[in-house]
Amino acid sequence: MKKKIGLIFNGTWSHYAFAKAPKYRDIYQLIYIHDLTFDKIKDFEAVVIPFQSNHEALTRKKQIIYDFLAGRHSATGKKVFLAGDSTTEWLEGRWEDRPVNNWWWVTHPDQPPVTQTNYEHPVYQGLKPRHACWHTHGVYTEVPSHAEVIQTNSEGEIITWQTHHYGGTLLVTTLDPIVEHGIQQITHLDNYCDSLTAWLCGIRPTGKFEILKEDYGIDAFVETEGLRD
């Protein structure tokens, strides 16, 4: 089976753990950021750039992302999902850091970090509020004029937004679903990640998040390993 989604990966283990989990490994292909070229991603249906990415390297390679989004070498535009932090050096939108609150659900369960969500968006359809937000990594204080806002916090600051301006669909959030699902400390993230995956490529993963011991302690990461033909 040909993998559908390229996951731009910073060598960090949370990205690796997510993409190696049996329920996702036939769908997501890890693409090491320092090996990223247009040829390596052009055939994917979508590209994911998770939290804990190297935005300095992404800035140097930003044209590759925008070419993919525009659908260069394909009939239509593609989808790109960007999570966590970002920088105006490559993204039209101003991200600002904020303290992360991992414990609101214990100390202030009535004050979630996201207060408004557009549940009409396919990624959020059918999600419970708890599944649509666990914690955030900063906010967007500015988004492009062509963007539509999907999620905001109680201050009205933007957590998730989307635009079709670049030829395809760019969905941006300060949530961190890929990293946290890889870390496996939050147990409900199958809901978000499976909806996200279905929206990105049309396949909804099933089953539990499992970890294979043999994926750890490997000699070296080889990008072409796996089932991609």
Partner 1 sequence: MKPLKALIISNATVGSNKLFQSNEHVSYDIYKVTENFDPDLDGYDLLILPNGATDSVAMAKIKHKVRAFLDEGNALFCFSGWFTNWVPGNRWIMDNSLKTSEVRYFKKYDRYDLLKDVDIDGLIFSHGISGWWACGYIETAPGAEVILEDTLQRPVVIIDEKTTRGTIIVSASGPVAEVTYGTTNHSPSMQAISALYRNFIAFVQHKKQTSYEKENRIDL
Residue type for 40, please? K
- What lies within 8 Å, CB to CB, of 5 at 6+ separation is 27, 28, 29, 44, 45, 46, 47, 48, 197, 200, 201
Nearer to partner 1, 18 or 199 (CB): 18
Q: With the CA atoms of 187, 190, 195 and 201 taken in that order, what torsion angle do they form, in degrees rounded to the nearest 10?
A: 150
Among 110, 155, 219, 229, binds partner 1 (CB under 8 A): 219
Nearer to partner 1, 123 or 133 (CB): 133
Biggest alpha carbon–alpha carbon distance for the chain: 50
Q: Does the protein bind partner 1 through residue 89 (CB under 8 A)? A: no
∠ at Cα 171 (42, 77), nearest 5°? 35
Coil, helix or strand at residue 66: helix
Q: Indicate the residue among 120 and 219 with the shorter CB distance to partner 1.
A: 219
**Residue written as tokens 């080889």?**
222
Q: According to CB under 8 A, which one of 185, 188, 204, 207 is a site residue for partner 1?
A: 185
Nearest approach, Cβ of residue 119 and partner 1 (Å):
27
Among the listed residues 5, 10, 123, 160, the single contact to partner 1 using CB under 8 A: 10
Q: Does 25 contact partner 1 by CB under 8 A?
A: no
Beta bridge partners of 52: none
Judged by CB under 8 A, does residue 113 bind partner 1? no
DSSP state for residue 213 in the 8-state scheme: G
What is the x/- site pattern for partner 1, positions 30-59, by CB under 8 A? --x-x-----------------xxxxxx--
Task: Give contact residues for partner 1 (rule: CB under 8 A).
Answer: 9-14, 16-17, 32, 34, 52-57, 84-85, 97, 99-100, 102-103, 106-107, 137, 183-185, 187, 209, 211, 213, 215-221
